[in-house]
Structure 1
Amino acid sequence: MTVQQALRIVDEDEAGIDKAFKRDVLKGLSEPQKAVPARWFYDERGSQLFEDITRLPEYYPTRAEKEILRAHSGDFRAAIGPGRAVVEFGSGSSAKTPLLLRAIEPLAYVPIDISGEFLRASADRLAEKLPDLPIHPVEADFTRRVTMPAEIDGTARLGFFPGSTIGNMVPRTAVDMLREMRATLEAGSPEGAPPLLLIGMDRIKSRKLLIPAYDDSQGVTAAFNLNLITRINRELDGTMPVDAFRHKAVWNDDIARVEMHLEAQRDIAFTVCEREFTMSAGETIHTENSHKYGRRSAAALLLAGGWTPLERWNDHDSRFMLILAEASPLRSAP
């Protein structure tokens, strides 16, 4: 088995609490519209619940993306070529990854995920499927610049960002993250081999198709959303009453996104890290956005983040797209 020991890049305090998690939760609960960034869904339980979501009949993105990866494997090989190190941002279970890895024959695979236990288990499973591929897991927040394993220094890189995670971020944050991804991939890359990025984006479509994908009939997405409260209570000494909240998903047509909220069903008071908070009935904690894109808006986002789109592939129903982009040359003028 070729899985290396996971490189861990997490800033914790003396009590072992992730400083970024604590900062984001306390700041978000103090704002007029309470909010917690979606990346904090993904403790081990949250990561498993998300994998359950991807198998739901209402959740089309995973099936659509797998369809693209299977149907265009030859196109990926021709456009990307063999011999790159594949760096997957937010790797999760790496369920779709073998479809790409088998198509392009990389030299190494670097999965990055914020959930360490889930990351290591996923890397071990992948190693059983691809025993000859060196795997270098990195436990880190991929939305910031990440130090790459020394083993891939001097190797051309392909960033892989499947799913529709880019849609979880407002455009400004998404652009910042795309720039950080570029910096992560460029450090240690050989001259003359600009990094590539293969990224998934969900397309704009009917509300009738979108809302069930984020509010399924089995309640799995609701459990995923509510698990954030359980994590806050466990890791930040919180007293948030889980039974006082309900999952809520709405379509915001003005800015083309599905929003997920945790809505208080009654007036409540609670503490997190010994700080006191209150919420009135009907007040919400905004936990996730899922922005949807058209061809032009997707291209504009990538260009703003320092990436030039090269190729684009859709599933047969045009619900989802994978875009291959190249790190743009730095320019001082138009």
Structure 2
Amino acid sequence: MSPSTITSPTAVDVHHDNGFHRKRSVKSNYAKPAPVPVIDLRGNTSQSNTDDNLKASIIKGLSTKNVEYHFGPQGPTLVRSVPTMVLYDDKGLEIFDKITYVEEYYLTEAEIDVLHSHAVDCVSRVAGNGSIFVELGCGAMRKTKHILQAIESLGLKNVTYYAVDLSEASLRDSLSPLADAFPTIQFVGLLGCYEDSIQYISTTIPATTSKTYLWLGSSIGNLNRQEAASFLRQICDKGMNVGDTFLCGIDRRNAPELVGAAYNDSQNVTRDFIMNGLDHVNTIFRANVFDRSAFEYLSIYNAVEGRHEAYYRSLKDQTISAPGHNQISLTKDEILNVEYSYKYSKEEVDELVEQAQFYNVGKYTDRRQMYDLHLFQKPPFFFKKSNETLTILPSMEEWGQMWKAWDHITTTMIPASERLTRPIALRHPFIFYLGHIPAFLDIQLARAEKAPLTSPQSFARIFERGIDPDLDDPSVCNPHSEVPDQWPEAEEIMEYQGRVRERLRKVMDDVAQGKDVGKRLKRALWMCYEHEGMHLETLLYMLVQCSTAVPPKGILAPIPNQFPSTKLADMIRVAHPQNVKTGINDQEYLDHEPTAALPVTFGWDVEKPARELPAGKPYEIQSRTVTIGEYIQFLDSEKDGWREETGLLPASWAPLPSSSTAQKGFLTTGLSTYGVKTVFGILPLSDFMTAPVSVSYNQAHKYATTRGMRLPTETELREFRSHGKHQPRNYGFASMVALGSSDIDSDKPVIDEGLWEWTSTVLNRSEEDGYVKSEVYPGYSSDFFDGKHNVVLGASWATIPRISERESFTNWYQRGYPYVFAGFRLARDL
């Protein structure tokens, strides 16, 4: 690496509210800063943008037809290509800067609008003293100064800003004036490609330093969706530590005519930018590979793929060649692809985040709702979605993520002084659950292996099963473990947990090596994994009721929705209800039959066997769940609705701390003084008006009857869910709160909005419908066939994917139990 320095001009680019930009002199009370170092990283990785690498990419693209073109008369065909990188030489960057001032190119102004309005909020979330920012492809940094102004206005100290660019001239022209304008911030230029800079940051910045990557201008659109996800995953894995953040500008799938004009402007600046790429190829090879006059720019918007496509079109039959390479013949009208600019729907962003294994904090949007800045974060744990790729047994990787989640929640969110706290009087204190998970696992492994329990064996007696009192008479309780006069010390429980986990690892090693451990032991492995996932959710709904709980370390609170929908939920008519298939075939007694094959999936006794639920009368059902805003209207309409003693106020709400009770422009007293209980503390109701409301069955039933409707039956909700594959599907810790469907068209079926859903069906199974009590866990469901528990379906944000994605999974709670993450939608007979 060879550092260089640059001088400091006295002009800085400033954005004005009228949308125009100009240079102005900067006056500062600080001494003139030292020259800004620029570190040359080129050639440090195999992806570096060296001339040799570019030459190889150019020849490969011209020699083979490997890019799909969808607009020919004969359907999709393969065409040649030129690497997009050729567009970004010094002259290309200069022309691109001109593009950002073109009126039709809405992306720049939209992003500036977002930053102008939200940079301070964003920086306050992601940075503190000593933080660093790394901007990938910084360009002229007209937009970046909003981030820098936010850093300055927040009074942050010792912040370092790293600017990454392919052009040394661009770095020289941009960094010095910014260093002059923001003398409290340290600036460093990184000359090279993205991969060069990621390697440099990962090897030189301490792991304890907070990092925020900036990727602005919708540059992500230059990669296809798979490449984009792979690149973000690479940064997440190699360049970030838990809690680090990534601010990414992403253009939406806007109207085709709008996108088309943005990339084919009336001043032909974009055309000049694309055509300059041919000149750059000639410069790289130091030969006249392309005759620029023999080509034209072809601009196409592919609405199906959601991308703009840029091509060179040959104006005649011609031959091109590069020194040392074979000649390539081009026919008249043959096209060469040079650039894609992908646009993203919400579903495509969700998929991007999933593949990159990021946590999606939320987004900031411009006032015209055309463009978003998404804030991603590297989470402390990550549960992969889509059970299509899962085996019948949880892998050791899945167990590893489960343990990361369990340990993160139990060690960072529960203060040591609160382990004996009972935030819900109907539940044991936190410390019981610390011992219950390893004890349950150890008991099941010991039984399946016909081996002794792990020491201390007394823990099995104390921690085997928790309490579940009757809400009407708490003295009535299901069978449970002995409650000790004094709970064991947490440190002793943690040591026990470690020994039980090691026991599991040995079993998993045997499974990985292909040893026949037996079907009953495999069932135990599956059951204990899902059992731990269920209690992970239990711990979290207990924690939101605990005023002393600590927010999860390394996970940011969500960004409130700027433009919540006010559209009412549509009623979806089901004039001809169908029988609904549900359940799975998984007979436990076959575990003892050596020749019997494993089932397709294991399941709990209440899921079995596969069966049909008979159709009922014609009905209609809401397209989405009832929101907090709608429930607020209900409380306002009820006499004393906001008074706790009425039983209508959700246990998921609480009065805001006195410092947060500003009216915020709302007239309703309850709205201005109450908030939603979350793992991040009590957040204002006004930030969650379109989020689903979490209530007890009794509260949901009262709301429904007041509206002249009812809750759907299990059969109706299962039928609805079979068609409700639309996003958001917020489960598996995709978010740490229930956010709902605020930016989804409400006429589409929406499921899994972050809460389980109540049904009007009472939990009850019998031999008549094939139910057989579990051998492995006899009390799993049968203890609750008491007429007081109702079926809930779906998942919450805290439900692990293995449970969320198994449509046969059946959950239940007492009708008056107010603490679970459960919402509801309305139905009525036709």
Q: Give the TM-score normalised by structure 1.
A: 0.91
The separation in 2 between residues aligned to 1:330 and 1:10, in whole angstroms, is 34
**Residue 178 of structure 1: which of 218, 229, 232 is its match?**
232
The separation in 1 between residues aligned to 2:307 and 2:322, in whole angstroms, is 29
Q: Is the Cα–Cα contact under 8 Å of residues 3 and 123 in structure 1 kept in the other structure?
A: no
The separation in 2 between residues aligned to 1:143 and 1:262, in whole angstroms, is 28
Other structure's SS at 2:200 match: coil
Higher relative contact order (CA 8 A, sep 6+): 1
Q: Is the Cα–Cα contact under 8 Å of residues 116 and 139 in structure 1 kept in the other structure?
A: yes
Q: Judging changes above 3 Å, is the alpha-carbon distance between structure 1 residues 113 and 25 closer, same or farther for their aligned structure 2 residues?
A: same
Q: Is the Cα–Cα contact under 8 Å of residues 6 and 139 in structure 1 kept in the other structure?
A: yes
Letter in 2 for 1:21: L
Per-residue deviation, residues 105-151 of structure 1 (Å, max 9, x unmatched): 56100011122222222222322222232111111111564312977
**Residue 223 of structure 1: which of 259, 267, 272 is its match?**
272
**Residue 243 of structure 1: which of 293, 296, 304 is its match?**
293
1:306 aligned partner: 357
Deviates more, 1:31-40 or 1:320-329: 31-40
Q: Is the Cα–Cα contact under 8 Å of residues 211 and 258 in structure 1 kept in the other structure?
A: yes
The separation in 1 between residues aligned to 2:310 and 2:279, in whole angstroms, is 17
**Residue 118 of structure 1: which of 167, 170, 188 is its match?**
170
Residue 248 of structure 1 deviates from its aligned partner by 1.1
Residue 180 of structure 1 deviates from its aligned partner by 2.4
2:42 aligned partner: 10
Other structure's SS at 2:297 match: strand
Q: Judging changes above 3 Å, is the alpha-carbon distance between structure 1 residues 306 and 39 closer, same or farther for their aligned structure 2 residues?
A: farther
Within-5 A mapping of 1:1-334:
1-11=33-43, 18-32=51-65, 33-83=79-129, 84-105=131-152, 107-143=159-195, 145-148=198-201, 152-153=205-206, 154-186=208-240, 194-239=243-288, 240-275=290-325, 276-329=327-380, 331=382, 332-333=397-398
The separation in 2 between residues aligned to 1:172 and 1:277, in whole angstroms, is 30
The separation in 2 between residues aligned to 1:308 and 1:174, in whole angstroms, is 16
Deviates more, 1:42-51 or 1:236-245: 236-245
Q: Judging changes above 3 Å, is the alpha-carbon distance between structure 1 residues 299 and 184 closer, same or farther for their aligned structure 2 residues?
A: same
Q: Is the Cα–Cα contact under 8 Å of residues 3 and 137 in structure 1 kept in the other structure?
A: no
RMSD value, Cα:
2.2
Other structure's SS at 1:204 match: coil
Q: Judging changes above 3 Å, is the alpha-carbon distance between structure 1 residues 29 and 132 closer, same or farther for their aligned structure 2 residues?
A: same
The separation in 1 between residues aligned to 2:35 and 2:144, in whole angstroms, is 15
Other structure's SS at 1:146 match: helix
Number of residue pairs matched? 327
Q: Judging changes above 3 Å, is the alpha-carbon distance between structure 1 residues 90 and 142 closer, same or farther for their aligned structure 2 residues?
A: same
Q: Is the Cα–Cα contact under 8 Å of residues 2 and 131 in structure 1 kept in the other structure?
A: no
Other structure's SS at 2:188 match: coil
What stretches of structure 1 of length at least 5 have no aligned partner? Answer: none
Other structure's SS at 1:323 match: strand
Per-residue deviation, residues 207-256 of structure 1 (Å, max 9, x unmatched): 11111110111111011001111011011134210111111110111111
Q: Judging changes above 3 Å, is the alpha-carbon distance between structure 1 residues 151 and 304 closer, same or farther for their aligned structure 2 residues?
A: closer
Q: Is the Cα–Cα contact under 8 Å of residues 237 and 272 in structure 1 kept in the other structure?
A: no
Letter in 2 for 1:237: R
Deviates more, 1:254-263 or 1:125-134: 125-134
The separation in 1 between residues aligned to 2:174 and 2:252, in whole angstroms, is 28
What stretches of structure 2 of length at least 5 have no aligned partner? Answer: 1-32, 66-78, 383-396, 399-800, 802-830
Bigger radius of gyration, 1 or 2?
2
Per-residue deviation, residues 160-188 of structure 1 (Å, max 9, x unmatched): 001111011111111121122224532xx
Q: Is the Cα–Cα contact under 8 Å of residues 96 and 273 in structure 2 kept in the other structure?
A: yes
The separation in 1 between residues aligned to 2:274 and 2:102, in whole angstroms, is 16
Deviates more, 1:323-332 or 1:161-170: 323-332
| Bigger strand share | 1
Deviates more, 1:65-74 or 1:118-127: 118-127
Deviates more, 1:217-226 or 1:235-244: 235-244
Q: Is the Cα–Cα contact under 8 Å of residues 267 and 278 in structure 1 kept in the other structure?
A: yes
Letter in 1 for 2:221: G
Residue 39 of structure 1 deviates from its aligned partner by 2.9
Q: Judging changes above 3 Å, is the alpha-carbon distance between structure 1 residues 311 and 260 closer, same or farther for their aligned structure 2 residues?
A: same
Q: Is the Cα–Cα contact under 8 Å of residues 245 and 262 in structure 1 kept in the other structure?
A: yes
Other structure's SS at 1:316 match: coil
Q: Is the Cα–Cα contact under 8 Å of residues 215 and 221 in structure 1 kept in the other structure?
A: yes
The separation in 2 between residues aligned to 1:94 and 1:71, in whole angstroms, is 17
Residue 2 of structure 1 deviates from its aligned partner by 4.6
Per-residue deviation, residues 54-83 of structure 1 (Å, max 9, x unmatched): 000110000000001111133213322333
The separation in 2 between residues aligned to 1:203 and 1:96, in whole angstroms, is 19
Letter in 1 for 2:269: V
Deviates more, 1:306-315 or 1:35-44: 35-44
Other structure's SS at 1:87 match: strand
The separation in 2 between residues aligned to 1:25 and 1:118, in whole angstroms, is 24
Q: Is the Cα–Cα contact under 8 Å of residues 2 and 133 in structure 1 kept in the other structure?
A: no
Letter in 2 for 1:5: P
Q: Is the Cα–Cα contact under 8 Å of residues 159 and 185 in structure 1 kept in the other structure?
A: no
Other structure's SS at 1:5 match: strand
Residue 304 of structure 1 deviates from its aligned partner by 0.8
